[in-house]
């Protein structure tokens, strides 16, 4: 069967080259005589897979030595609890900017462990923008300041990071990691679930500054302590071994594409194809204010529910799948992560043009 253009928000498309390489290595990895899935996580060969993946990510994101890279389980959502449990440890309070459902969930979870100050929210405009920040609302004694760099559901992204002074910035980069360059030194902690830009679901990357480790709340479960995983180099217990292997192959693929700067350039071009079309269309309309548009998730609507449904149905028949928007926004959303080739976006835009011509 022919592969479709998969615009899913996550789990999402993976690079075909990596899928094919994994297929070749599925039964026997290298000279091991076994699948990565069958290996002891304590073996030399698996350790080399893990360390290579860490080093490649360190190179790709220019991560300095005083940051630890952890490969954990539990998805992005487990970080919503791990962050307050480990970092809300001096003054038991933190600042959150609510830019969508993931940020809201993170703030709600954190409020179970301490005081959460909502600095700003764009809920009143259905999260169609990154809200303006008033630094007078920042808490000077906050243990950290939390943002969601790319808002997967609503299709917005932070273009400029807030200046939080000595307060560590914490970022959820689940849906934009390795899609654009980022200055990691601006952050105390950055995390991402794998299933959008990195690989199959099951592994979560946490990049954390060393000085923030070792101060978890007294009752924090051992498995939710960053310092335990850092001390054991993500081998405290059995990590998601196959996920780490696959993600490592994706890191190599990103390097082969020219690294993160090259990915960003390609992603900007892909997004521009779609947004330029939306801006001149008489029928389709983007739902996000222009300056905050995401490079990864582009939501858009047609004038009626009937047309939205018709578009989604006809698109699917043409091999453009998973274009239905999130239930809270409606309409459509095209997720165009690193693995979506330019041709996929070009073909989608051509289809949208034809749909417009047929439905005016």
Ligand X SMILES: *Cc1c(COP(=O)(O)O)cnc(C)c1O
| Contact residues for ligand X, defined by CB under 6 A | 10, 75-77, 102, 148, 152, 172, 174-175, 193, 196
Minimum CB distance to ligand X smaller for 11 or for 330: 11
Among the listed residues 102, 128, 143, 158, the single catalytic one is: 102
Query: For residue 69, what are its two tokens?
Result: 């890279």
Among the listed residues 196, 225, 270, 324, the single catalytic one is: 196
* Shortest Cβ 129–ligand X spacing (Å): 16
* Dihedral pair phi/psi, residue 78, rounded to 5°: -70, -30
Of the candidates 342, 303, 313, 308, which has an alpha carbon nearest to the alpha carbon of residue 325?
A: 308
Minimum CB distance to ligand X smaller for 174 or for 267: 174
Residues 126 and 98: their CA atoms lie apart, in Å, by 11
* Shortest Cβ 349–ligand X spacing (Å): 24
Query: For ligand X, which residue has the nearest CB?
Result: 75
Minimum CB distance to ligand X smaller for 39 or for 192: 192
Minimum CB distance to ligand X smaller for 95 or for 172: 172
Minimum CB distance to ligand X smaller for 75 or for 330: 75
Minimum CB distance to ligand X smaller for 74 or for 330: 74
* Shortest Cβ 37–ligand X spacing (Å): 21
Decide if 172 is catalytic: yes
CB 40, CB 355: distance < 8 Å: no
Cross-strand bridge partners of residue 193: 204
26, 48, 71, 96, 258 from 54: Cα distances, Å: 21, 10, 9, 29, 18
* Shortest Cβ 10–ligand X spacing (Å): 5
* Shortest Cβ 193–ligand X spacing (Å): 3
Decide if 56 is catalytic: no
* Shortest Cβ 152–ligand X spacing (Å): 3
Decide if 102 is catalytic: yes
Q: Name the residues annotated as catalytic.
A: 102, 172, 196
């Amino acid at each position: 069967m022919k592969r479709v253009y998969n615009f899913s928000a996550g789990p999402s498309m993976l690079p075909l080259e990596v899928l094919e390489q994994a297929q070749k290595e599925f039964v026997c990895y290298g000279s091991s005589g076994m699948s990565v899935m069958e290996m002891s996580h304590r073996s030399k060969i698996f350790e080399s897979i893990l360390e290579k993946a860490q080093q490649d990510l360190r190179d790709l994101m220019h991560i300095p030595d005083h940051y630890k890279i952890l490969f954990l389980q539990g998805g992005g959502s487990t970080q919503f609890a791990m962050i307050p449990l480990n970092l809300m440890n001096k003054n038991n309070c933190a600042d959150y900017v609510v830019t969508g459902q993931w940020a809201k969930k993170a703030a709600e979870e954190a409020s179970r462990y301490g005081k959460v100050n909502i600095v700003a929210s764009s809920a009143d405009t259905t999260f169609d923008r990154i809200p303006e920040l008033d630094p007078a609302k920042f808490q000077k004694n906050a243990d950290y300041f939390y943002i969601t760099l790319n808002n997967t559901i609503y299709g917005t992204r932070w273009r400029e990071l807030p200046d939080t002074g000595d307060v560590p910035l914490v970022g959820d980069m689940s849906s934009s990691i390795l899609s654009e360059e980022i200055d990691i030194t601006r952050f105390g902690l950055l995390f991402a679930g794998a299933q959008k830009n990195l690989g199959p679901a099951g592994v979560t990357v946490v990049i954390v500054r060393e000085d923030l480790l070792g101060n978890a709340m007294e009752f924090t479960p051992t498995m939710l302590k960053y310092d335990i995983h850092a001390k054991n180099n993500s081998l405290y217990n059995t990590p998601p071994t196959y996920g780490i292997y696959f993600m490592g192959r994706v890191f190599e693929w990103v390097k082969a594409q020219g690294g993160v700067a090259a990915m960003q350039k390609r992603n900007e071009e892909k997004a521009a194809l779609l947004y330029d079309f939306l801006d001149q269309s008489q029928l389709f309309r983007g739902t996000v204010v222009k300056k905050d548009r995401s490079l990864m998730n582009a939501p858009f609507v047609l004038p009626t529910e009937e047309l939205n449904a018709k578009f989604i149905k006809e698109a699917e028949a043409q091999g453009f799948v998973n274009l239905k928007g999130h239930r809270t926004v409606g309409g459509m959303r095209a997720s165009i992560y690193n693995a979506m080739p330019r041709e996929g976006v070009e073909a989608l835009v051509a289809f949208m043009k034809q749909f417009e011509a047929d439905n005016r």
